[in-house]
Each structure stands twice: as C-alpha cells, then as structure tokens.
Structure 1
Amino acid sequence: MNGYKIDGETLFALGSVSKGVTGEVIAGLVDKGQLKWSDRLVDLLPKNTPLSADAKNITLLQLATHTSGLPRQNMNSDMLESFLKYLYTGDNFYRELDSNAVLNDLSSFRRPASMQPQYSNLGYALLGYILKLKTGEDIQQLSYDFIFKSLQMNNTSFAATSLKTYPFRAIGHAGDQPKFIPRGDVVPDWHFSNNMVGAASLYSNVDDLLKYLRAHISDSHTGDLNAAINVTEQIYFARDIEAANIAWVTDHQYGQTITYQVGYIGGYSSYIGFDKQHQNAVVVLQNSFNWSNYIGHDLLLRMGMADDYRGSCRAASAK
C-alpha cells in the first residue's frame, strides 16, 4: 500500500456499499415530504423521457429495494465491448450508466414475470439521476448534511480525492477479477462523476464505518437519521436469504438475523454487517477483488451463536 501501514484510518473504495448511504438519504427526503416511496418514474423523470408502460409504473421504493425488475446494467453492444475490455485492462465498464444514456432503454423495458428481487446498478443509477434532478444537490452534500456530519465520519466521502488521506489509500489489486490480469497486479481506480456516484463512489475506512454501523445497532442521536435507518432496515421482500431491505439485505440463518451489504469495485471488496439483537457489527475491507467476501458474515453468525450459548449457560446456572 504505497509503503504505508494499513490501519483503521486507511481509505478503501467501497463500491456498492455506497448504496446503503444513498438509500438512507432518500429515506430522509421521503420523511421530509420531498419525495414519496410511491412516486413513479413517469412522475420522477423529465416529461419527455420515453418510457414503456412497465417503466412508467416503477416506483421509488422498487428502485431502492432492487424489486423494479430492471437488469443489473444496460445490455447492449457498448456495454459488452466495455466489459470485454475490462477483463484485460481493469478499466471502468459502467461509464454508460454514469451518463444520461441510463435513460435510453426505458422505452423498451418489460417487467420480468418473476417478482423476485434482482440486483440492479441501473436502478441505482436512475436514483442518482432522480436525486440530482429533484434536489439540485449532489449525493456528497446530501450525505454529509444528513449522515457524515452527525456521525463524525470525517474520512468518508463520495468525492474521495478531496480527502487529505486519499493519497495514502489502500491501492486496489486484481483478484478473482479482472479475469485476464494476474492476481496481485495493481488495477485502475474507478471514478464516476454523475449518476453512478451514489451507487458506487464512496470511500471510507474501518473507523468511520464502525461509527456508521453503531448508529444502526444502537442510536445515532439524531432523530431524523434514526427514522431513516429504521425505514431502510425494514424487510420489503421476505425470504430466508437476502431478504430485501432498502439497499441492505438480511439473512436468517442458524437462528441469527444478519443485515449486511457487500461491495466490489476496481481492485476492492468490502463487507459491512450487523446483528441488532446481539449488538454486534463487523467491517471487512480488502484491497483486492475477491468474490469470497463473507469472512465478516461468518464472524457475525459465530458471535451471535456464541452470545446465545453464553446466555443459555447463564440461564441454566441461575436455575
């Protein structure tokens, strides 16, 4: 890492963990009456935007919970070409989603028959477009005012190059991806400037993310933020594994309930999760791209089971 020791203040790119912050910002705007979860794309986008009948009826809540039916990304020749280039170079292949071309395929969208949640970067790129259109502010300012400032997350930003610690960040490396770059080689950082900022541009460190998770398992000491967090933690599509929250997902395993997010971007992998019942939280940040990113999840499960075991022992000894 540029010869610097990694510690709790070292910056990492978080990728899709960005979406949790964006979801909570949206929940705050809904609470203030600036948006409604029932708002539809036909009302949220400019009047001249070509929309299919199915696209018109996609709601803000469906975008935020990955239940809109939109695909992970636009499926066209430009995207395919960018992805193939990425496999050899590590270059950002989501530039189209960052541009206003994100609107181009909505005229032909057909909702799939299955109502199962389907992870969608396209959906969160649309949320980025909508936020800027409806508030006139960028996601960094909205997040700072609503979350980062009150939680004293001083080394967390969607505009990471402005942070004093950015030059000392962990450098991203190839791992499981990009497929044709040797594992351990340095790969390019990904940068966004428009719609994808709120979906994937966040940088943070372990110290700040633990402050963020503490607000989810206890109290942020800010009423509006507490309300937004509570809304995002609700389950909107129930199932045992990856039940859909707003940006987060929840697993029910081995008698434990774990709510979490994972992120992959460039040469980074990230995991943040919490177990509200046992007041446990875990952050795992890697400066390599690895699909096996569930060390934190296993830790939370094991800590919860250990807490239950200790509780049962105390109950037995009290008899």
Structure 2
Amino acid sequence: MTDVTVPRVDAPGSPSTTARLLAGAAARIDAPDVVLALSRDGVRTVHTGGSAEPGPVPRERLHHELGSASKPYAGLLLARLVAQGRVRYEDRAADLLAPGLPVHPAVRRITLRQLLTHTSGLPGLPADFYPQAVPRWSTDPYGNYPADRVVRAFLRARPRHRPGTRWRYSNFAVSVLGHTLAAATGTPWEVLLHQQVLAPLGLGATLLRPGPDGTDATGHRRDGTPLPALDTGGFTAAGALRATPLDLLTFLEAHLGAAGPQDPSMTAALTEVVRPLLRRGWRHAHTHTLTWFQHPSPYGPVLFHAGATLGQQAFLGFRPGTGLAVAATATRRVHRKDTFVATAYELLTETP
C-alpha cells in the first residue's frame, strides 16, 4: 500500500489521521488495484494499493471505468442546458427525438426529468436487449446494441407504469435522455458533454472512450482474469465515462463550490443537482436529487452514486455541509460479500 502525494495534499511528515484512515479502509477491499481519494475543503489525500504490483502509470492517474457513476455527469449536463434555456425539464423526449411519429400515449408523456430521475416507467433495459446480450454477458453485453436501436426501442416501448408515478432504476431511460439531448441540440453526446461539463470544470482526464495505451485501468473478474475495456454501445449516457480518481475529486469539488469562478448557467446547474427532489421506498425514507442519492449521516446529508462495469467499480460522494468529498475506484467486481461500496460509503458518512 502507498500513500500518494498529489496537488493540494496534506502537509508532509508523519502520516496524517486521514492517510491512516484511507490505508485501513483500502486494506478491507480485495482488488488488484484500489484508489481511495478524499478531499476536505480542497485539501486532498489519496491512497493507492491492491494485490497487484503497481504499473508504470500511478493508479490515481489511470482512467477507471465509472459505469453508472457516469449518471451524475449526465444530470449536470441536463441541468446546465436547462439553465441556458436550450431545453426544459418538462420537455417530452419523444417530441424531441421523433416529432410527429406515432408512439404509445405513455411514451409520449415521458419528460426529460422523468428519464433522469428513473420515474419514466421504462424498464432497466429494453426487452429485446437480453437475447443478444446473454451469450456475451461476461465479455461484451452492450457492444452490439447501438444508439439507433436504443432510440427505436424507446419509441416502440410500453411503459410498465404511468410516467411520474413510480421509481425504477433504468439504464435504458438515462441512455434515452442522452440521445434526446443530442437530438435537441444537434450535437453528438460526446461533444455536448465535453463542451458543457468536462471542459468547463477542467476535467481533462475524463473520457468517453479508452485512452491512449497504458493509461486505462484494467478490470478483472473475481478469479483475477483481466477484462477488455467496456463498450457501452448505445447506452453511453448511462455508463460510458472513464476518469482518473484525481478528476473524480475535481468533479466532486465543483459541487462543493471549490471550482472557482463559473459561468452563471454552470453555477445554477451545480445548485440544482443537489436540491432534494423526490422520495421513495418504505415511508418515503429514500431521498433523491435530480441525479444523486441522498442519505443522512452524523455530519449532515451526504450525496453519492456508485457504478460498476464487468470488472471495475467506482464510488462518488460528497457532504455539502462539511466540504468533504470521497472518490473510490477498484479493478475487480465481486458480486457477493463485496466490501467496496460499503467501505467507500463509510468513509463518506463516518469521517469526522
């Protein structure tokens, strides 16, 4: 295990309390590569470790697959486009994607807000996704399902619930949101996200495709077998991002007001995405913002999102009231008795 010095870190010398905390947390995660990064009021501590030997590029500077932790970026993009007056949360996706085309009445009612907040009534994935994905489930389930097929599946969908009435997590819905925003602005999703989110926040090490050779973390199966880079096919907005843990901290720090002067539309968007928006679950105990899960903690509300691909995991979270942010990555996904998310969540909620 090693503690890594990066810009804006704790003062050198004897190990800090935060460094010891991260080292203890990393020891509980079984993965070839682990990065735990914590920012407190812009002061960063990063711990790297894992069972594999470190490579030539430091772990905290490798691009890690974010999976569903890509969704907060899609949410911030939508919020910024709304702040700019280019779209509205209540715009209907079908009207923007295929104006005038006959669709099911429930599909016609689905709004951009409902797509992002998992209240559209759409299933987690299109029904016809599984026949082509199951034979390649452990290697490449998404790659053969391109963008035009996602859009067609949406336009012929039959939502299971009336839009806006129930919460159901849906990669399908957020992917449709991405294609809808691209259509509404006449800009490819990758270009749109870069222009509106990545470049303004200085996220130069956040990508939608694999980086140059040697700059990407390699995911692993539970048995240690390495996996190829993820291809998300047409589900780009829901899970295609790759980022270094340092860039993840920069993204989180922007939500804590540490990103410096901002365009008014970015400031408005960063404010909007942390506002509590809906409740669900038993006794409505689970709170959500436009794009983050929100839970209570001894130190005030925490906002977070986790993600996983076939062989990697990521966790992003911050505490608006205390200036604390946690970014974590690991290069193995263990489906049972996995400690990664629980450990990162504990750092976010229990760190004084």
Same fold at TM > 0.5: yes
Contact kept, 8 Å, 1:275 with 1:300, in 2: the verdict is yes
Q: Distance in 2 between matches of 1:189 and 1:120?
A: 22
Paired residue for 2:349?
A: 301
Paired residue for 1:252?
A: 296
Q: Distance in 1 between matches of 2:105 and 2:165?
A: 17
Q: Distance in 2 between matches of 1:285 and 1:151?
A: 21
Amino acid at match of 1:225: M
Of residues 158, 166, 171 in structure 2, which corresponds to 1:121? 171
Amino acid at match of 2:228: P
Relative to structure 2, which stretch is displaced further, 240-249 or 14-23?
240-249
Matched, 1:172 2:224: no
Q: Distance in 1 between matches of 2:265 and 2:132?
A: 41
Matched, 1:263 2:307: yes
Deviations 1:261-284 (A, max 9, x none): 111113111100001111111011
Deviations 1:21-73 (A, max 9, x none): 11111111111111011111342221354421111101111111111111100
Q: Distance in 2 between matches of 1:54 and 1:241?
A: 28
Structure 1's unaligned 5+ residue stretches are 176-182, 307-319
Deviations 1:190-232 (A, max 9, x none): 2245x42222111101111111111111243213212111111
SS in structure 2 of the partner of residue 69 of structure 1: coil
SS in structure 2 of the partner of residue 233 of structure 1: coil
Amino acid at match of 1:211: T
Q: TM-score, normalised by structure 1?
A: 0.82
Aligned residues: 290
Paired residue for 1:275?
A: 319
Deviation at 1:290, TM superposition (A): 3.2
Q: Distance in 2 between matches of 1:50 and 1:109?
A: 13
- After TM superposition, list the pairs within 5 Å mapping 1:205-284 onto structure 2: 205-220=244-259, 221-222=261-262, 223-239=264-280, 242-254=286-298, 256-284=300-328
Matched, 1:147 2:197: yes
Paired residue for 1:196?
A: 235
SS in structure 2 of the partner of residue 96 of structure 1: coil
Structure 2's unaligned 5+ residue stretches are 1-51
Deviation at 1:286, TM superposition (A): 0.9
Which structure has more helix as a fraction of its residues? 1
Q: Distance in 2 between matches of 1:269 and 1:59?
A: 30
RMSD of aligned alpha carbons: 2.4
Taking every aligned residue pair, what percent have the same amino acid on both sides? 24
Q: TM-score, normalised by structure 2?
A: 0.75
Contact kept, 8 Å, 1:65 with 1:236, in 2: the verdict is no
- After TM superposition, list the pairs within 5 Å mapping 1:5-154 onto structure 2: 6-76=58-128, 79-87=129-137, 89-93=138-142, 95-96=144-145, 98-104=147-153, 106-112=155-161, 115-154=165-204
